[in-house]
Amino acid sequence: MANADSYVTIHMAASLDGFIARKDGRVDWMETSDEFVGGETMDPEFVEAFLKTIDCYVMGSRTYETALRFEAQGLGWSYGDKPTFVLTSRELPRTRDTVRFHSGDLAQFVNGHLRPTFRSIWFVGGGMVSAECLRLGLADEVRYSILPILIGDGIPFFEKLDQDVALHLAEVKAYQSGMVGLRYEVRGDRGELMNSDPEILINSGSRIS
Ligand SMILES: NC(=O)c1ccc[n+]([C@@H]2O[C@H](COP(=O)([O-])OP(=O)(O)OC[C@H]3O[C@@H](n4cnc5c(N)ncnc54)[C@H](OP(=O)(O)O)[C@@H]3O)[C@@H](O)[C@H]2O)c1
């Protein structure tokens, strides 16, 4: 049975024109140099405490490959020691014990496996996986950090959706760095599979390794 307290968040940072990476996957534009006088600062202690409230991460394979490249460049691993589920149909390198690969039905995976096990579940990209999560009605919340830059073209925050998704604006914060943090709650019912029994997952042929 799904955990009624579980909460699925989609979070990404994007340019003002709605791109999460350049067409070739580069995110160099994220280093902006704006200053918004009167904006809030990011208190490192608050950030650290907040990250502790996240119980697991979910990401697409291309986002994982970007994370591996960052790590190889000495830029660290952004997901701490939290379980990190990578959606892929391929065999990818596994550089740490916390990483698990999954392929198969995403709704059954989230509702039958993640929701009963974890409370705060964060989808951290990319555009393809975020759109799939919304299309299937799996997300409770969308956190959108807008950076003060336009990049003209790139990978969109959400791949095309086939229907409208009504949102409720729950929080707005403007930071000294010029970034604006928006938090929206997804209105309406979660996906129809919310009450899936974990046995459905076992019988669905989904792979968790
Ligand atoms: N700005 C930000 O905050 C931010 C955040 C995250 C990522 N990014 C950037 O976004 C780019 C990647 O985004 P993207 O939209 O191209 O790709 P993505 O969503 O990261 O990954 C898509 C891939 O995940 C796999 N996949 C998706 N759904 C699946 C499912 N249900 N089951 C199994 N596998 C599934 C497929 O790959 P397989 O071929 O492996 O099966 C698919 O091609 C990167 O450049 C990254 O740096 C930016």
Q: Which of 9, 10, 19, 20 to mutate to test the pocket of ligand 1 (most atoms within 8 A of CB)?
A: 20
Distance, CA of 140 to CA of 116 (rounded, Å): 15
Give residue 88 CA to ligand 1 midpoint distance, Å.
9
Q: Looking at ligand 1, which atom is closest to the CA of residue 30?
A: 1
| Residue 195 banded pLDDT, cuts 50, 70, 90 | very low
For ligand 1, the distance from its centroid to the CA atom of residue 38, given in whole angstroms, is 35
For residues 102 and 86, is the Cβ–Cβ distance under 8 A? Answer: yes
- Band (pLDDT 50/70/90 cuts) for residue 202 is very low
Residues 196/112, Cβ–Cβ less than 8 Å: yes
Q: Does pLDDT of 147 surpass 60?
A: yes
At residue 125, does pLDDT exceed 50?
yes
Ligand 1 proximal residues by C-beta, below 6 Å:
12-14, 20-21, 25, 27, 59-63, 66, 87-90, 103, 106, 124-129, 132, 155
Specify whether the CB–CB gap between 175 and 34 falls below 8 A.
no
Confidence of residue 190 (pLDDT cuts 50, 70, 90): low
DSSP string for 38-69: TPBP--HHHHHHHHHT--EEEEEHHHHHHHHH
* Percentage of the residues of the chain whose pLDDT score is greater than 90: 83
Residue whose Cα lies nearest atom 28 of ligand 1: it is: 129
* Structure-derived torsion over alpha carbons of residues 58, 66, 15, 141, reported in degrees to the nearest 10: 0
CB distance 180 to 40 below 8 Å: no
Give percent of the chain with pLDDT exceeding 70.
89
Q: If residue 129 lies in a helix (H) or strand (E), which one and from where to where?
A: helix 127-135
pTM of the full structure: 0.90
